[in-house]
C-alpha cells in the first residue's frame, strides 16, 4: 500500500538512492531513507522523505529506523570496487553489524518483508579462475570460498537472513548483485567500480590530451555489468516474490575489461594507448551470472545492453567531471 512505511538503509548511496527515487516515482509516499553519511554527501536526496543520518552499526539506531516499517531494504554497507574491498577487509566485514542489527530490529518491529543486498562476491573463487568462466549458478556459493573480507560478510548475512526467516518468521529476500553501474554512482575517490572508473579515465584522457589509460590487470579478465534500471526492476520483484533462496541479479552479457574500454572509447570518440597495471587489485579472473533461476521465478532477467547503459553513465560522469573541474578543460 502506498502509505505503508518503506525503509531504505543505505539510501545515501548509489543503489539506495535510486531505490528511493524509484519508490517515489511509483507513488509511495511513506519512505524513510537512512545513511551514515551527512546529507550533503548523499548521491540523491529527496524532499517529502523521512531522511535520517544514522549509524546503523548500532542496534538502537536500527530499532529507531525499523519502528513502524512495513518493508526494509537493507543496502547499507561499507563497500566499493576492487580498489576498496581488497584493501579494507576488516572494514567490509564490520558491515555484519549492520545486517545483524537490522535483522534483529526488523524482527522486533514485525516488519513484513526484509530485503538484503548480497553480492556475486560470495561465489567460490575456485569457480572464477578462468576468463572463460562458466556462468555462476546460485549453488556455486558452496563449498564456501567467497571474496576475502567483503564476500564473507555477504555470505554470513545471507545465512543470518535465512535463519531469521526459518526461526523467527521474518520474511527475508536476498539478491546477489553482479556489478551494478549507472549514473549517480561512485566515479572517483577509490571506491568506484570498473564501469565508472573506465569512463572517468577516458574522460580524463580527453581533458588532459594525454591519450593513454591505465587498466588494472591484463584487461582479459571478464565480468558482466548490470545497469541500475535492471536493478530497480529486480529488487522489488524479488522482495515481493516467493523466492526464499539467494538469487542472482545480474546480466549474462560477458565482456572482458578490454572490451569495456573499447565501448568507453567509442562513446568518448577517442582511442587511447593502454597500460596494464598487473599489481593493481584484480579480483577474480572471470565472473558471470547464470540467470536460469531468475527466469524461472520471474519470467524476466536483467538485459539492458552494456553499450546502452555505459553511454548514459559516461554522459553523467562527464557532466559531473566538468562540474567538479570546470568546463574550460573539456574537449
- Residues labelled as active-site residues: 150
Question: Applying CB under 6 A, does 312 fall inside the site for ligand GKE?
Answer: no
Shortest distance, position 217 Cβ to ligand GKE, whole Å: 4
Is residue 282 at the binding interface for ligand GKE, with CB under 6 A as the rule?
Answer: yes
User: What DSSP string runs through 166-207?
Assistant: HHH---EEEEEE--EE-SSS--SSS---HHHHHHHHHHHHHH
Check residue 179 for interaction with ligand GKE (CB under 6 A): yes
3-state secondary structure 13-44: CHHHHHHHHHHHHCCCCCEEEEECCCHHHCCC
d(CA 165, CA 172): 6
Q: Which residue is nearest to ligand GKE (CB)?
A: 81
Task: Determine, following the binding rule CB under 6 A, whether residue 257 of this chain makes contact with ligand GKE.
Answer: yes
Among 32, 173, 193, 206, binds ligand GKE (CB under 6 A): 193
User: Could you say which of 281, 290, 293, 311 contacts ligand GKE (CB under 6 A)?
Assistant: 281
- Residues 4-63 touching ligand GKE, rule: CB under 6 A, are none
CA distance 251 to 231: 10
CA pair distance 165, 17, nearest whole angstrom = 27
The torsion defined by the Cα of 15, 17, 19 and 23, in degrees rounded to 10, comes to -170
Residue 314: CB minimum distance to ligand GKE, A: 14
Q: Is the CB of residue 165 less than 8 Å from the CB of residue 181?
A: no
Which of residues 68 and 303 has its CB atom nearest to ligand GKE in the complex?
A: 303
Residue 20 beta carbon to ligand GKE: minimum distance, rounded to whole angstroms: 20
Report the distance separating Cα 192 and Cα 170, nearest Å. 33
Binding positions for ligand GKE, 62-81, rule CB under 6 A: 79, 81
- The Cα–Cα gap between 219 and 213 comes to 12
Specify the DSSP class assigned to residue 233.
Answer: H
Least Cα distance to 103 among 66, 78, 53 occurs for 66
Region from 9-17, 48-56, 96-104, 171-179 binding ligand GKE, contact rule CB under 6 A: 171-179
3-state secondary structure of 214: strand
Residue 67 or residue 188: which is nearer to ligand GKE going by CB?
188
Establish if 175 lies at the interface with ligand GKE (CB under 6 A).
Answer: no
Q: What's the Cα-to-Cα distance from 31 to each of 5, 50, 69, 116, 195, rounded to whole Å? A: 6, 6, 9, 17, 30
Range in contact with ligand GKE (rule: CB under 6 A) among 31-39, 238-246, 276-284, 314-322: 276-284
| Integer Cα distance of 24 and 46 in angstroms | 9
Of 232, 227, 211, 200, which is closest to residue 83 (Cα–Cα)?
A: 200
Out of 14, 23, 43, 216, the residue judged to bind ligand GKE by CB under 6 A: 216
Q: How near is the Cβ of 141 to ligand GKE at its closest, in Å?
A: 13
Of 5-13, 47-55, 209-217, 263-271: span binding ligand GKE (CB under 6 A):
209-217
Q: Does residue 22 contact residue 49 with C-beta atoms inside 8 Å?
A: no
Buried b (16+ CB within 10 A) or exposed e, 58-93: eeebbbebbeebbbbbbbbbbbbbbbbbbebbebbb
- Which region, judged by CB under 6 A, interacts with ligand GKE, from 32-40, 101-109, 129-137, 213-221? 213-221
- 119 forms part of the interface with ligand GKE (CB under 6 A): yes
Among 12, 160, 223, 294, binds ligand GKE (CB under 6 A): 223
**Minimum gap (Å) between residue 276 Cβ and ligand GKE:** 9
State the minimum distance, in angstroms, from the CB of residue 92 to ligand GKE.
9
**92 near ligand GKE (CB under 6 A):** no
Please select the residue that binds ligand GKE; options are 7, 8, 33, 121, rule is CB under 6 A.
121
**What residue ranges bind ligand GKE (CB under 6 A)?**
79, 81-83, 85, 119-121, 177-179, 192-194, 197, 215-217, 221, 223, 257, 281-283
Amino acid at each position: 500500500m502506498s502509505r505503508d512505511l518503506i525503509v531504505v538503509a543505505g539510501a545515501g548511496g548509489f543503489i539506495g538512492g535510486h531505490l528511493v527515487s524509484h519508490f517515489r516515482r511509483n507513488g509511495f509516499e511513506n519512505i524513510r531513507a537512512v545513511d551514515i553519511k551527512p546529507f550533503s554527501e548523499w548521491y540523491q536526496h529527496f524532499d517529502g522523505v523521512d531522511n535520517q543520518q544514522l549509524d546503523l552499526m548500532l542496534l538502537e539506531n536500527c530499532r529507531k529506523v525499523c519502528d513502524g516499517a512495513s518493508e526494509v531494504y537493507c543496502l547499507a554497507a561499507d563497500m566499493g570496487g576492487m580498489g576498496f574491498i581488497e584493501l579494507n577487509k576488516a572494514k567490509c566485514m564490520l558491515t555484519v553489524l549492520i545486517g545483524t542489527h537490522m535483522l534483529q530490529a526488523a524482527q522486533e518491529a514485525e516488519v513484513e518483508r526484509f530485503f538484503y543486498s548480497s553480492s556475486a562476491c560470495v561465489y567460490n573463487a575456485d569457480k572464477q579462475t578462468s576468463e572463460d568462466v562458466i556462468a555462476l549458478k546460485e549453488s556455486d556459493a558452496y563449498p564456501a570460498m567467497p571474496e576475502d573480507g567483503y564476500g564473507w560478510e555477504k555470505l554470513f548475512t545471507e545465512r543470518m537472513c535465512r535463519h531469521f526467516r526459518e526461526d523467527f518468521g521474518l520474511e527475508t529476500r536476498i539478491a546477489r548483485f553482479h556489478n551494478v553501474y549507472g549514473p549517480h554512482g561512485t566515479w572517483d575517490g577509490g571506491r568506484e567500480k570498473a564501469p565508472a572508473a573506465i569512463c572517468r579515465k577516458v574522460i580524463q584522457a580527453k581533458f588532459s590530451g594525454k591519450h593513454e589509460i591505465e587498466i588494472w590487470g591484463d584487461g582479459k579478465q571478464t565480468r558482466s555489468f548490470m545497469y541500475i534500471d535492471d536493478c530497480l526492476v529486480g529488487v522489488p520483484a524479488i522482495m515481493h516474490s516467493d523466492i526464499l533462496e539467494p538469487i542472482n541479479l545480474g546480466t549474462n552479457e560477458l565482456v572482458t575489461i578490454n572490451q569495456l574500454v573499447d565501448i568507453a572509447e567509442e562513446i568518448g570518440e577517442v582511442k587511447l594507448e593502454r597500460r596494464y597495471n598487473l599489481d593493481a587489485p584484480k579480483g577474480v579472473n572471470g565472473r558471470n551470472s547464470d540467470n536460469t533461476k531468475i527466469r524461472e521465478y520471474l519470467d524476466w532477467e536483467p538485459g539492458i545492453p552494456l553499450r546502452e547503459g555505459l553511454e548514459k553513465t559516461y554522459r553523467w560522469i562527464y557532466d559531473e567531471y566538468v562540474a567538479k573541474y570546470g568546463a574550460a578543460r573539456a574537449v
